């Protein structure tokens, strides 16, 4: 069976993608896995540090334990999402310890986020994480640029952000970053934003984001590695599909399935109803938004010898 890196590389080469669903609440794991299997899609189940600090995921071990109850290797793998070197509140994080813990638990890919450091610091921190991941035989994702939205407080108007290119990944830095760190997948910023995670803002409808596709195409040519789009919820569908043709091989989805879970749970008090909402939304994303029904066969094909 191919490794996770083989699967994402196959998506990149084939001009398709592997969606990655964040699970800030443990009961979300089962309906995401079920929806993915029912539609014969492939996805990553992922947890970021903020999802056990700001929400109720419980930590890498808790998510892994839940994942193993429903594991279906043909359709799902487990990924450690954002482990920041400096977190959303400006605090230093023992990122290598978290990554090592996840690897020991059996995570099949990991991500280090040094995007709040300067370029040299990000390269150094990422290189350390890559060495740890590669020693364990798994891929490491990294981020260059700033995918905004997770910090406390509201963002400036989206059109102001987009027009200014604030946080966009630098094209010249991208090639150097991939070469010097050895990262397998690169998360880039091209107009995508994270969903808010603080206070009442986390319940608001996410902004409809556009993507600078020309900038993304330049990044594709500079990085020469699978690119990742964080903040996938709310991106215009035509922009998303065009982005896949320009090097995006993995798309992270969080808000789009978190909010239905929270809303259904508040309205009904029933975890089962909340899970049903996640299942329905995940199915709609796979079928109607991404158009990935039946993708598991392609992505699980053994790499050519």
User: pLDDT by residue (tens digit) across 236-266?
Assistant: 899 999 999 999 999 999 999 999 999 999 9
Mean pLDDT of 20-38: 98
Coil, strand or helix at 21? strand
- Report the pLDDT value the prediction gives residue 200, as an integer from 0 to 100: 45
Percent pLDDT > 70 in the chain is: 88
Mean pLDDT of 60-74: 97
Question: Which residues sit opposite 77 in a β-bridge?
Answer: 44
Residue 231 in this model has a pLDDT that exceeds 50: yes
User: pLDDT by residue (tens digit) across 85-96?
Assistant: 999 888 999 999
Question: DSSP assignment, residue 45?
Answer: E
Measured distance CA(125)–CA(129) in Å, rounded: 6
Task: Report the chain's mean pLDDT, rounded to a whole number.
Answer: 91
- Report the pLDDT value the prediction gives residue 32, as an integer from 0 to 100: 98
Contact 305, 23 (CB under 8 A): no
CATH superfamily of 4-293: Aldolase class I (3.20.20.70)
Coil, strand or helix at 39? coil
Measured distance CA(253)–CA(22) in Å, rounded: 6
- Report the pLDDT value the prediction gives residue 180, as an integer from 0 to 100: 98
Band (205; pLDDT cuts 50, 70, 90): low
Percent pLDDT > 90 in the chain is: 78
CA 285, 288, 290, 292: dihedral to nearest 10 degrees?
Answer: 100
Mean pLDDT of 186-209: 66
Least confident interval from 92-96, 163-167, 171-175, 299-303: 163-167
Band (202; pLDDT cuts 50, 70, 90): low
Band (195; pLDDT cuts 50, 70, 90): low
Q: How many helices (H) and strands (E) does the chain have?
A: 13, 8
Residue 213 in this model has a pLDDT that exceeds 80: yes
Report which secondary-structure segment, H or E, holds 60.
Answer: helix 60-70
Residue 48 in this model has a pLDDT that exceeds 70: yes
Mean pLDDT of 155-176: 79
Contact 196, 171 (CB under 8 A): no
Measured distance CA(2)–CA(230) in Å, rounded: 24
User: CB neighbours of 137 closer than 8 A, spacing ≥ 6?
Assistant: 3
First to last CA, the chain: 14
Residue 57 in this model has a pLDDT that exceeds 70: yes
Mean pLDDT of 108-120: 96
Q: Quick check: is 81 catalytic? A: yes
Tokens 């900038």 map to which residue? Answer: 215
Least confident interval from 92-106, 119-133, 152-166: 152-166
Coil, strand or helix at 202? helix
Name the active-site residue from 81, 113, 212, 256: 81
Exposure string of 262-296, with b = 16+ CB inside 10 Å and e = fewer, is bebbeeeeeeeebbbbbbebbbebbeebbebeebb
Mean pLDDT of 278-293: 97
Domain boundaries, the chain: 4-293
């Amino acid at each position: 069976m191919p490794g996770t890196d083989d699967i994402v590389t196959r998506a990149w080469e084939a001009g398709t993608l592997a969606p990655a669903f964040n699970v800030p609440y443990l009961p979300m794991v089962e309906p995401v896995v079920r929806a993915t299997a029912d539609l014969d899609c492939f996805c990553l189940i992922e947890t970021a540090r903020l999802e056990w600090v700001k929400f109720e995921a419980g930590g890498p071990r808790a998510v892994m334990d839940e994942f193993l109850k429903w594991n279906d290797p043909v359709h799902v793998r487990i990924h450690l999402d954002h482990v920041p070197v400096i977190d959303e509140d400006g605090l230093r994080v023992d990122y290598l310890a978290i990554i090592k813990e996840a690897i020991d638990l059996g995570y099949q890919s990991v991500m280090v986020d040094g995007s709040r450091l300067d370029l040299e610091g990000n390269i150094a921190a990422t290189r350390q994480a890559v060495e740890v991941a590669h020693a364990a035989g798994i891929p490491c994702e990294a981020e260059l640029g700033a995918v905004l939205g997770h910090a406390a407080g509201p963002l400036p108007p989206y059109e102001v952000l987009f027009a200014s290119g604030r946080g966009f990944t630098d094209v010249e830095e991208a090639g150097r970053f991939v070469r010097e760190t050895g990262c397998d997948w690169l998360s880039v910023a091209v107009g995508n934003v994270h969903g808010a995670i603080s206070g009442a803002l986390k319940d608001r409808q996410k902004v409809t984001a556009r993507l600078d596709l020309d900038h993304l195409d330049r990044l594709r040519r500079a990085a020469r590695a699978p690119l990742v789009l964080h903040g996938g919820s709310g991106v215009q569908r035509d922009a998303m599909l065009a982005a896949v043709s320009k090097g995006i091989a993995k798309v992270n989805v969080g808000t789009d399935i978190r909010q239905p879970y929270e809303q259904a749970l508040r309205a009904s008090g029933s975890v089962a109803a909340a899970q049903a909402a996640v299942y329905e939304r995940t199915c709609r994303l796979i079928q109607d938004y991404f158009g990935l029904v039946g993708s598991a066969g392609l992505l699980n094909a053994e790499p050519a010898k």
